[in-house]
Structures are given as structure tokens and as C-alpha cells.
Chain A
């Protein structure tokens, strides 16, 4: 029976992939992509993941998991596999897979889609499952601890610094996405602002009024944020309120920074916890709705399979298809960040080792599917509209007439009237140069939802999508700042012991301020950048995220070799080699390329020459020194990332060589065998 299903999947998958391959110069239906994706995931899960679990990781269901051995009814709790799956997916799911595919759509739908599928099945899912498994065998130790225990102090330090930097870049770029979505949009701004008191209300409900009634509190909160979406529309029609919420980007960036700082020092129950509940429910609901709508509506993909921008002069960000498609789409294909979540909370919930495949591999498959849907939502727009929304004023000009002229000259016809009527339908003043990916994704989602559930509510759907992304991003921003703060406090504690105490208020204030200042700086520079800033920050974030994945895969490869499974180490070694090539190539180009759209130093040089020659307009000249400094700083950061990555790889390599030569290596930190006694669990049933 299983064989028949496998063969059937392979046949349907092959037909769908062939369908995609053969539809080269005509529009393709999104259903082909969905079918191909589902079949590839199913095959990957059924065969590859099962093989890796059985032969490479050598999963042993007779072995007691930490949840069973240390069961304390709180963090170590044996949990039904579908509940643990839900937990883990909620933790890894963030705004990343929504933004990356949207940006990568400038190359056409094909490159990004292939990388999402192949990268996830052979790379990302394997990384998540392996790290989850290894951490589970080590009582839920973190990636940093495992790197230190198994590779040495250098590996541990590299993981710590890498995590801290990636966190800062991630928050900055996500903050920029929110700012660009709210800029001069009273409806979006009013709605997003309203979500803050709603979260606080839910927080008070869950803490003071009805402690722990999480479902009840979340339902109230969801009703209120939906009301806020509708209320934002009302604000938009009110002449006075409209002006009150019409903010340019710089004050909005100030709001985001201030919000981040306050959220980081407030107790978690007041803002972070309730916001996280809301965003998790919103994401689950929206993703399910999107999947159903795409299947019901099965829209045509209007973007070509490949665009001319594969040669590197794309308007969203500069750089050729190799290596930049692999950098732009990190979350959804391979995301190093997941290794941090997979080592920590989730391993302490696993009831049986047999569940690791569903929780580790399966959650990442679903995350990857979210990325596929984001790709569909971006590519079903008219390409002209897509580029008009996503190209910065610095690329296509700030006047609408100039922008549509440039974009039409690329072979993607679009008119000012078309953009105006679209903006009007969505309840916005303009959709030109709304970089960052969120607005174009929102337009795509609104078109899908509007066509499925009635076009009368396009404005509501658009702002629902914006609110959904913003709530998500703000909770990542808040949680990330807090995590960064803990790490920084840990580091500072080595200098002066009281600073390491996470509850000492002066230390909380100091470390929160430092972290917020770190990402606030990048956010500020992104906002003043006439090209939108996302074009610089997102690739940098992608490089950092892939570098973290490479560190995680190095730890995994090192452990596989140390535990005598060198024969199968290719399972993690090959994705590692690929990521090392991709990140190094991207970092090299970002640093040394002579093309100012790609090379950071070339851009800094070009800008300073223009500044010296006095050929810049006054406004551009005023911000040029800051941009020049930032581009040089980014180049140094990129170099630092690459150096850290190669240090870890070398560290891993020498541990492996010593082991293969039979020389002594540090003992593995795996917990000793203990027989499992746990009875099978039921969903949500008694333990």
C-alpha cells in the first residue's frame, strides 16, 4: 500500500514538474506549482526523511526522551506528536518566508520556487530535524552549547556572535518592512497602532482577570484586531484623523524603535506574550485561508518563469541569480535561525524519538509551503504592477510617470491610471515604491481573498494582510530584542558580574538600550536610503541566516563523524558545502564587486566621489555621509560573517580528521541510554 502511494506521488509530482517545465512562454496556473510542491514534500518526507531518521540519526523509539526522564510538568513535558508539531511550527513560523520569496520573484517564479522546494527537502528540513534530534539526545541543549561541547570553545563563541548579529540585522530589516508598509498610509498606521493596546488588553485579561484562559483571551484579541482593521478604514475617511495618522517614514521608524525599547523592558505578560498568541493564531488562520483560496481560485501566474534580471540588474536588489536567489530566500528553504528554536524548547516536549521526523522535518515542510504561497501571491500580480510597487524611487524615479515609463521599458507594461485605480481599490493613496515586500504581498493576498470571497472588500483584505504581517513582525522584533538582551547580558556578565543578572534593572536597561540602538541604527539608515534600504539589508540578513545554518550543519556533521557515522555524514555535509559556497560567493561579491548596485565598497566609493564633485542634489548630499559610512560598515560585517563561518568549518574539519585518524577527540555529550516506559499519548488527553 505504502509503495503504491509512493509511486502515485512520484507520478503526479513528475507530471506537475513537467507541466511547469513545459509551460515556458505562456502563463501557468498556480495549481501546477502547488501540486508539484505537495508531491515533492510528500516524497521527501516519506522516503528521504524516513531514511535519514532510520539510518543516519538511528532513531531509537525504545530510548527514553528527556521529556520522559525529566518530566516536571512544566518545560519537560511528554507531549503528543501533533501538539508538539503545532508548538514547533508556531515557533519557527515568522515573517521571513513571506518577504524573501516576494523579493526573489524579480528573477521570475521558477528559480525561487525550485530553491524553496529543493532547499527545504534536502537542506532546511534535514537541518531542523537533525538539530532537533541532537539537542533531544542532549537534554535540550542549545546550539551554542552543543557547538562548544562538541567542536570546542571557538565554535560556541562563533555561534553566539553569529546569533547576536543576525538578530540585530533581522530586526532592523523587518522594522524597515513595517515602516515602508505604514508610510503615508493612515489606514495601515491606525490599524497597526491599535494592535498595541489590544495586545495589552489581552495581556491584562490573561494575567489579572482570567489567568491562563489563553483561547478565550486570544479570541477576544482576534475580534478586536479585526475591528481595528475595519476601524482603520473609518479613520482613513475621516478628514482630521486621516491627517493625524499620515506619517512619513522617519517618525514611523522612531515609533518602531521606541516601541521596541519599551516592549523589551516591560514584563513579558503585558505585551510580548499576548502579542505572540495573537500573531500565532493570525498566522495559522491566514495561512490556512490562503491555501484554501489558492486551491479554490487556482490563479494564473503572470510573472514569466525567468526574467532578464537574472543577469544582476534587478530593481529590487542588485546581484545575479547565483548566488543571490539562495541568499534572498533563506527562511522557507534553509533557515539557520530554526536551529536555535529546534535546540531548546521543542526537544523537551518530545514523547518518543519516533516523533522527531514529524516535528522536525514536517514543521519545516509546512514553513516551506508558506514560502511557496508567498511566491504565488507575488507572481500572480501583473509583473508591471509588481515592479512598480517594489522598485525604490532611487531606481525608477519618484514621479509616477517616470516610474511607469522605466518599468514598461523593461517589457512589463504598466500605466499610472492602472496603479492609481489599484491603490484606490486597496484604500491607499499610492502604491508606487512601497518597497520591502509587505505591500505587494498584501496586494497579492487581497486579490486572492477578494476573488474568492467578493471584491467589495479589497481595502479590508489589503489592510488585513498588512496588519497580519505587522503583528508578526512586531512580535519578532520584541522577542528578538529580548533574546539579544539575554545574550548581551551573558557576555557583559563576564566583564562585570552584576550585569549578567537578567533581572537586575540597570543591566536590563543598559543591555536593552544597546540592542535597540544596534538595530535602530540600521533601521534609520535604511529609512534615509533613497533606494529603500531593503535592497542592502535583506541580502545581508540572508547571508547571516545562511551562515548560521552552515554553523548548525557544521555542528551536526561534526557530531555525526564523531559518533562513527562518517559514512552518512554527506546528509548534512552536502547542504553545508552548498551553503558555504553560496554565502562566501555572495559575501565576496557584496564586498569586492565593482558594480555599485552589488558591491558595498564600490557604492561607498561612487557616492563619495559624487559628494566630493558636488553633483548630488541637496537632499541626497545631506544623507550621503551616513550612507557611505553604513556601506563600509556593512562590508566589514559581511567580511566578519564569512570569517566566523570558515573558522567554524575549519574547527569542525579538524575534529573530524582527528576522529577519522583515530586520535582522541572530546567525548560526545550525548545522555546515556535509558529504556522508555511511556504509554502512547492521545491528543490533549491526560498524560
Chain B
């Protein structure tokens, strides 16, 4: 039972990381570690992220 739960929670964490669902939390952690001052808001962060992500070649044939 515990193994099943561990596998599921790893799977969910993987899914969140792959899809970018947890990107803001990662950014906050990074920001707190390395920069003084206020971080971007959640909305502003994702706005920047989407523009950057689809600004180059992001999809193949």
C-alpha cells in the first residue's frame, strides 16, 4: 500500500514537473535562494514563461 502511494506521488510530481505545473513554485524557491526583492506574481511569471517557451522551436514534425 505504501509502495503504491509512493509510486503514485512520484508519478504526480513527475507529471507536474514535466507539464510545468510546478514551475512557479520552483521559481519562488530559486528566487528566495538567490535574489533579494519581491518575486514576480504567479500571473506575470506564467505570462513570461509562455512567451519564452513558444518563442523558439518547441514542436517537431
Contact, CB under 8 Å: B49 / A74: yes
Query: Does A440 sit within 8 A of B, measured CB to CB?
Result: no
Contacts of B49 in A (CB 8 A): 74, 212
Contact, CB under 8 Å: B27 / A340: no
Digit string of B30-58 for contact with A (CB within 8 Å is 1, else 0)?
Answer: 11001000000011011111111111111
Contacts of A280 in B (CB 8 A): 19
Of all chain B residues, which has the CB nearest A274? B50
Contact, CB under 8 Å: A685 / B13: yes
Contacts of B20 in A (CB 8 A): 212, 214
Contact, CB under 8 Å: A73 / B26: yes
Of all chain A residues, which has the CB nearest B41? A211
Contacts of B45 in A (CB 8 A): 212
Query: Does A483 sit within 8 A of B, measured CB to CB?
Result: yes
Contact, CB under 8 Å: B57 / A341: yes
Contact, CB under 8 Å: A211 / B46: yes
Given contacts A73-B26, A335-B61, A687-B30, contact A211 B55 (CB under 8 A): no
Contact, CB under 8 Å: B16 / A215: yes
Contacts of B8 in A (CB 8 A): none
Contacts of B31 in A (CB 8 A): 73
Contact, CB under 8 Å: B26 / A273: no
Contact, CB under 8 Å: A212 / B24: yes
Query: Does A187 sit within 8 A of B, measured CB to CB?
Result: no
A-B contact count (CB 8 A): 133
Q: What's the nearest-Cβ distance from chain A to residue B19, in Å?
A: 5
Contact, CB under 8 Å: A93 / B60: yes
Given contacts A212-B24, A345-B56, A486-B56, contact A273 B50 (CB under 8 A): yes
Query: Bound complex: CA of A277 vs CA of B13, how far in Å?
Result: 17
Q: State which of A26-34, A473-481, A661-669 sits at the interface with chain B.
A: A473-481
Contact, CB under 8 Å: B61 / A96: yes
Q: State which of A75-83, A225-233, A598-606 sits at the interface with chain B.
A: A75-83
Digit string of B1-20 for contact with A (CB within 8 Å is 1, else 0)?
Answer: 00000000010111111111
Contact, CB under 8 Å: A684 / B13: yes
CB < 8 Å neighbour of A215 from B21, B46, B58, B59: B21
Q: What's the nearest-Cβ distance from chain A to residue B15, in Å?
A: 7
Contacts of A207 in B (CB 8 A): 43, 46-47, 50
Query: Does A69 sit within 8 A of B, measured CB to CB?
Result: no
Query: Does A618 sit within 8 A of B, measured CB to CB?
Result: no
Which residues of A in the span 483-534 have a Cβ within 8 Å of any Cβ on B?
A: 483, 486, 502
Q: What's the nearest-Cβ distance from chain A to residue B21, in Å?
A: 4
Contact, CB under 8 Å: B42 / A77: no
Contact, CB under 8 Å: B14 / A683: yes
Query: Does A94 sit within 8 A of B, measured CB to CB?
Result: yes
Query: Bound complex: CA of A344 vs CA of B16, how far in Å?
Result: 22
Query: Does A454 sit within 8 A of B, measured CB to CB?
Result: no
Of all chain A residues, which has the CB nearest B13? A684
Contacts of B27 in A (CB 8 A): 73-74
Contact, CB under 8 Å: B59 / A475: yes
Given contacts A212-B46, A276-B59, A344-B57, contact A218 B19 (CB under 8 A): yes
CB < 8 Å neighbour of B53 from A95, A273, A685: A273
Given contacts A74-B49, A475-B59, A687-B30, contact A212 B42 (CB under 8 A): yes
Contact, CB under 8 Å: A94 / B61: yes
Contact, CB under 8 Å: B50 / A91: no
Contacts of A91 in B (CB 8 A): 58-60
8 tightest A-B CB contacts, nearest first: A684-B13, A73-B30, A86-B18, A96-B61, A212-B46, A479-B59, A684-B17, A268-B54
Of the A-B pairs whose beta carbons lie under 8 Å apart in the complex, a sample of 21, sorted by A's number, is A71-B30, A73-B31, A74-B49, A77-B30, A83-B17, A95-B61, A96-B61, A211-B42, A212-B24, A214-B19, A218-B19, A273-B53, A337-B61, A344-B57, A475-B59, A476-B59, A482-B54, A486-B55, A502-B55, A685-B13, A687-B26
B-binding residues in A (CB < 8 A): 71-75, 77, 79-80, 82-83, 86-87, 90-96, 142, 170, 174, 206-207, 211-215, 218, 268-269, 272-273, 276-277, 280, 330-331, 335, 337-338, 340-341, 344-345, 475-476, 479-480, 482-483, 486, 502, 545, 683-687
Contacts A93-B60, A96-B60, A273-B54 given; 17 further ones with Cβ under 8 A? Answer: A73-B34, A74-B27, A77-B26, A80-B17, A95-B61, A174-B61, A207-B46, A212-B23, A212-B43, A214-B19, A276-B54, A276-B58, A277-B19, A280-B19, A337-B61, A345-B53, A502-B55
